[in-house]
Chains A and B, each alone.
Chain A
Amino acid sequence: MRLALRELRRRPNRFAVATVILTLIALLLMFLGGLLDGLEAGSTGALRRQPADALVFADGAEGSLVRSRLSSEVRDAVAEVVGDDRVGGLGSVQLGARLDGREPRDLVPVVLFGYELAPDGLPEGGPAAGEVYADTSLEAEGVEQGTVLRLGPARSKVRVVGFIDDARYSGQASLWGSIDTWRAVLGDNRPSARVGEGTVQALVVRDDAGRGGAELVEALDAAGDGATESFTVDGAIDALPGLAQQRTTFGQIIGVTVVIAIVVVALFFALLTVERTGLYGVLKALGAGSGSLFAGVLLQAVVVTAVASAVGIAASLLLDAVIPAGSLPFTVTPARLVSSVAALLVAAIAGVAFSLRRVLRVDPASAIGGAQ
């Protein structure tokens, strides 16, 4: 083992190219994972913020807020299951927001949500009419407390009274106001999407009876009598169009990239082992066991991978810092970095295992028999 570490210290150039390749692969894994996480976070934040045991949509809306409409009769039916104060309406509309001091065509895309039950991170009791909480990603656009945004072609004015973190939806920043604010803004800006009094797009449901997700969803849909399709929050996220396909596709690409890492490590250490066959013969003749020789190779692979991972992490963090907000949906999370490093270490160990047979086959007699 000491020999392996000494070789790494004394001849770092020998391992430099392999380290560079593994660094690129580490960066690829982290970048691909960061893209997936960024896309998911940007699409699902508003749903994850819901303090709900279930979300109720209109049957046939396929979990889409825009296409879902629930009347006050449906709301009453749902309230009978959990109690009136445990049900809150939810509505959304995507609009362009105008900010003072900007060019007339320079709009910020936002989703205005109207809510009755406060999302996690917002105080109970919704904001007053015309007031909204803004997603923190809007701070990068210069939005601060007190900023007035003019929404849509009707220039509906809303004033920011606070912020909420990680609440993006459909890749856009969100604003959170009362249901009445939402209904007014929707009607003023989207005549074809106007909804009647009491109508909402979805219902946020809390349950104090301690029913599990499936049981509650079943009870709500039974009460809805075919007019509703209910989901747990995770279920509603999974129902978002394209999310499952996105996860599968990125997962497969990441999987093949890990296989490439295995092949690269295998190739590199197989070649190094071939080069050292004579040396291993001498060491074995001096009493070194195959196990300790292989452990040395393994240690070198782990060190090379660790260095590559460290550089990859630094590069990922740098990318995260320099990518302008809104240009690429890239997010670095500790969980993603740890899983990428773990995948690379497993790949390194699997790759170096290909050299095991060659190490075992080295004959100590070759050291004194002049087989070289």
Chain B
Amino acid sequence: MSLALREMRRAKARFGLLIAAIALLVFLILTQQAIQDGLVTSFVGAIRQQTAPVLVYSTDGQRTFQGSVIPPPLQEQILSAEGIGASGGIGQGTFTVSVSGRAGTEDAVLIGAEDPALGGVGRVDEGRLPAAEGEAVGSAADFAVGDRVRIVPVGVPGGEGPEIEVVGLAEDAQLQVTPTLFTTWETFEGAARAANPDAEAVLPNVIGLAPAEGVSADELVEAVNAVSDDADALTRAEAADETPGVAQVQQSFRVIFLLYGLVVPLVTGLFFLIVVFQKSAALTLLRAVGVEAATLVRSLLVQVLLVVGGGLLVGTALYFPLSQMEVGSIALRFDVAAVAVWSALLLGLGLISALVAARRVLAIDPIEATTGGGAR
């Protein structure tokens, strides 16, 4: 143990450089993990937060709120399915809005539910749920309680949109990485008509369903999908996970993580292999004077643990301040579980990568100290 520490003290630059390399890799891995989680949450947070256990899209909607439209005949077919306890239409649209106290205009998604228990927001982290027309719960990253949001009808000369008051806030409630407001159907309909006076009708984009007593969400999904090929029912979790783009984001990051995950043990393994190679004369001498091979291997593994552990600590310390920030409108978060999983994984891989160096230590023949072979 003292041998390992003494060597590290004497070759600070060498070990410092390795710790710096691992720290940078850990920092990158954790940062990208946070970006991935933040991105997915910003994409589909509103779907996870809404109250309907089952969402029914039109097949044409390709599992997106904005792409789906439920015309009355399809709605009738959906509601004819067995096992429905309650139902309500949900409308969604992206609007240009102006927010009180802020200059200029910005984008906002409006989600209007006929029944707040089927498409409204499940919980508020601040303020209260909407109680009347013209009230909304906003995504906490973008709004404050008391904000007054006015719909700006784009390209409608002299048009004036309704005003919405933010009465509550919900964390992780964005849709499509856009500020999001959960409101009543009437408020949504008013906004849609103001934004497009040519609109023939404002139809729900999705139908929210609750299963009848004794029916599970999965059974209800199956029943709805059986009544029409034009209806695409999904449970809440499926609707979030199968939103187009989510799987692509996760797949892309998986490849990136795999590559970074391979680089860490390879760098560690290479370093210790070279170090053992360089020290072979000294290690042979130590073996010749009676030091057990196990002691030398233990010393090597201690160094691996300290170097990878040091890299993890520094990398996590670099990641912490970054995880408190926002990348555009994506809120990052310090994820303890991600730190723990990556730490365990990289420590394990680091130790495995040092096995080649350990094998070389175990192969040292003390007799070579007398022949000069250890110096080769």
Contacts and interface: CB of A to CB of B under 8 A. Distances in A.
B205 to A, nearest CB: 9
Contacts, number: 184
B21 A267 contact: yes
B18 A227 contact: no
Interface stretch (B153-161, B286-294, B297-305, B366-374): B153-161
A268 B267 CA distance: 9
A260 B273 contact: no
B255 interface: yes
Interface in A146-205: 152-153, 171, 187, 189-196, 199
B19 to A, nearest CB: 10
Interface centre among A104, A109, A189, A227 (most CB of B within 10 A): A109
A94 interface: yes
B196 A267 contact: no
- Give the most central of B96, B178, B277: most A CB within 10 Å: B96
Interface in B63-87: 66-67, 69, 71, 74
Interface in A47-61: 58-61
Nearest to A196: B198
Contact of A249 (B35, B60, B74): B35
A327 B251 CA distance: 9
Contact of B96 (A62, A259, A263, A274): A62
Contacts of A32: 256
B256 A31 contact: yes
B60 A227 contact: no
B259 A27 contact: yes
Contact of B259 (A24, A193, A266, A271): A24
Interface string B250-277: 0110011001101100110111011101
A310 to B, nearest CB: 17
A142 interface: no
Contacts of A107: 59-60, 62
Contacts of A260: 21, 24-25, 28, 263
B192 interface: yes
Contacts of A195: 196, 198
B139 interface: no
Contact of A17 (B106, B192, B273): B273
A137 to B, nearest CB: 15
A330 B253 CA distance: 12
Nearest to A259: B24
A249 B327 contact: yes
Given A153-B58, A195-B198, A328 B251 contact: yes
B214 interface: no
Interface of B: 13-14, 17-18, 20-21, 24-25, 27-28, 31-32, 35, 58-62, 66-67, 69, 71, 74, 93-96, 105-107, 152, 154-157, 177-178, 192, 195-196, 198-203, 229-230, 232, 244-245, 248, 251-252, 255-256, 259-260, 262-263, 266-267, 269-271, 273-275, 277-278, 327-328, 330
Interface of A: 17-18, 20-21, 24-25, 27-28, 31-32, 35, 58-62, 64, 66-71, 73-74, 94-96, 104-105, 107, 109, 152-153, 171, 187, 189-196, 199, 227, 241-242, 245, 249, 253, 256-257, 259-260, 263-264, 266-268, 270-272, 274-275, 327-330
28 contacts: A21-B267, A61-B154, A66-B94, A67-B195, A69-B155, A70-B155, A74-B155, A94-B66, A104-B230, A105-B232, A109-B67, A109-B244, A153-B58, A189-B69, A192-B202, A196-B198, A241-B107, A249-B327, A253-B32, A257-B28, A263-B24, A264-B267, A270-B13, A271-B271, A271-B274, A274-B14, A328-B248, A328-B255
Given A31-B255, A69-B156, A192-B202, 4 more contacts: A67-B95, A67-B154, A267-B267, A271-B14
CB-based closest 8 A-B pairs: A69-B155, A58-B155, A245-B328, A104-B229, A191-B200, A96-B60, A263-B21, A17-B270
